[in-house]
Structure 1
């Protein structure tokens, strides 16, 4: 009997064996009923059997072995993906989920071989086709499982970031009330300044985290353009970045008419992250400088600092989320999650602008941001 025929004829027996194995996967299986344990097994098997009966050239077989073959079994893919999602939801880990497919493959081959009386060469071809179908199902299940893991993590981070805002706001407001109501001595004022600075840093980290999760969940960065002065925003951003840091003194040079239409909140995010990055990585012996130049259509921001240059191979990933340079990890502790420059890029893209970076030991590091004054 051909393998595809055997699977159709013995599908309930095979699924019973699947169920028995699934029961051994602890602790997730302890809370699962029979229907959940047998989840999509029959659909996967019957779809695999149908796939085995379709014609396939040698070239298509070679391509499929590399994961490049044409999709000929959408039912198999859909069932396998749904299985991966549900196994994640009930608490299987990835190793446990993939072990089901390993057991299924072995079980079907063992039962089929035991049923054969006179093996034929075509039977080996059947085994190849069955293995291909199971590999396809496993790939789809694994991809769907991994996607669920990623989405669950992103939702957790979104909830965490959202819930952190309330206690941070409480700390910030309490600090302001202390300053207003109590006559604090110089030592106490220094402690309050540290609390305010720490709260400000944590607030920036939470904002960055929320923007990162928003992009991961598929939501584009919204902007609401309104008339504003970029030079004024730069002055305020520098003042805020240097609050509580007496030795902080970035310079600002402005040329041209810097009025345009941008989202002020997003521009503040961009400036705080650029300035904060320059202050953190800049050399203490050289000042950080921000140059703002405007023409009829665009404004160009040049954020410059001296210090350890960015490695050439790191420039390609510097705007990627959760990426830090080696020097940042080994050296001084960071006040960010590695999301600052990612947020900068997202803000620039949302305003239809461009950003690039150059860095070497002679000229220092310069981030160049070009923003159109009005939407294109």
Structure 2
């Protein structure tokens, strides 16, 4: 009997073996019903059998072996993906989930070989096609499982970021009240300034984390455009960034009309991250320069610092999330407060406003970020 026909004829027996093996996967299986243990196994097997009967050329077979998406079986992919999602929900880890496919492959081949009387050349083709179908199902299950893991992680980070805001706000407000009402000596004022600076850094990190999670969960960055002056916002951002840092020395130059229609909160995020990045990685004995130039239809923002340049191999990924430049870390002044999300947020804000951002970095000229923002939509 051909393997595809054998699977159809003995699908219940094969699924029984699937269930018996799934029962051994502890502790998740202890709380699962028979129906949950057998989850999508019958659909995967029958879809694999149908796939094996589908005509396939040598070139298609070679492409399939390379993982290319040729002649994929929708019903097989759907059943396998659903299986991967549900196995994640019930508590299987990735190794346990993939072990089910290893056992399924071995069970089917063993039962089929035991039923054969004499080998035929066509049987080798059947085994190849069966292995291809199981590999396809395994790939889809693994991808769906990984997607669920990533989504669960992102939801956890979103909850964490949201819940951290309340205690941070309480610390910040308490520090403000203490500063206004208490008579503090010089040392106490210094400690208070450190508390306020620390809460600002933590607040910025939480905001970056929430924006990152928002993008991961598929939500676009919302913007509410209002009339504002980029130069005025930059002055406020410099003052905020330099609070509690006497050595802070950015030099701002403004040219032309720097007013436009932008989201005030988002622009503040952009400025804080770019200025903070320059302060963090710029040389301690060199000033940071910020230039804002208003033109007819857009405003150009240039932030420049000297110091260790961004590694040439890292330039292409500098705006990717959770990426930090190793060479720049050698020249960081003080402990880093970065999650590797700052420049990612900057890029997202620029994109949301229909603008552009570029970066150049070398030993002689330093590092320069150039942002161009249209004044209106």
- Alignment TM-score, normalising by the size of structure 1: 0.98
Deviation at 1:327, TM superposition (A): 3.1
Aligned to 1:173: 173
Q: 1:340 and 1:300 mapped to 2: Cα distance?
A: 20
Q: 1:14 and 1:309 mapped to 2: Cα distance?
A: 61
Does structure 2 retain, via aligned residues, the 8 Å contact 1:328–1:334?
no
Report the CA distance shift for 1:331/1:248 in structure 2 as closer, same or farther (over 3 A).
closer
Deviation at 1:329, TM superposition (A): 4.7
After the TM superposition, which of the residue ranges 327-336 and 165-174 deviates more from structure 2? 327-336
Q: 2:329 and 2:255 mapped to 1: Cα distance?
A: 37
Deviations 1:331-375 (A, max 9, x none): 643111000000000000111101001111111111000001011
Aligned to 1:307: 307
**Gaps in structure 2 of 5+ consecutive residues:** none
Does structure 1 retain, via aligned residues, the 8 Å contact 2:3–2:126?
yes
Q: Aligned with 1:316: secondary structure? A: helix
Deviation at 1:330, TM superposition (A): 5.3
Does structure 1 retain, via aligned residues, the 8 Å contact 2:257–2:295?
yes
Q: 2:293 and 2:72 mapped to 1: Cα distance?
A: 57
Matches within 5 A, 1:68-87: 68-87=68-87
- Mapped pair 1:341 → 2:343: yes
**Gaps in structure 1 of 5+ consecutive residues:** none
Q: Aligned with 2:317: secondary structure? A: coil
Q: Aligned with 1:82: secondary structure? A: helix
Aligned to 1:227: 227
Aligned to 2:150: 150
- Structure 1 residue runs of 4+, over 6 Å off? none
Aligned to 2:108: 108
Q: Aligned with 1:224: secondary structure? A: coil
Q: 1:124 and 1:69 mapped to 2: Cα distance?
A: 23
Deviation at 1:35, TM superposition (A): 0.7
Aligned to 2:14: 14
Does structure 1 retain, via aligned residues, the 8 Å contact 2:290–2:301?
yes
Aligned to 1:365: 367
Q: 1:350 aligns with which of 352, 369, 373?
A: 352
Matches within 5 A, 1:148-297: 148-297=148-297
Structure 1 vs Structure 2 CA RMSD: 1.0
What is the aligned length?
375
Q: 1:60 and 1:249 mapped to 2: Cα distance?
A: 63
Deviation at 1:69, TM superposition (A): 4.5
- Alignment TM-score, normalising by the size of structure 2: 0.98
Deviation at 1:71, TM superposition (A): 3.3
Deviation at 1:189, TM superposition (A): 0.9
Q: 1:75 and 1:368 mapped to 2: Cα distance?
A: 49
Q: 1:360 and 1:5 mapped to 2: Cα distance?
A: 66
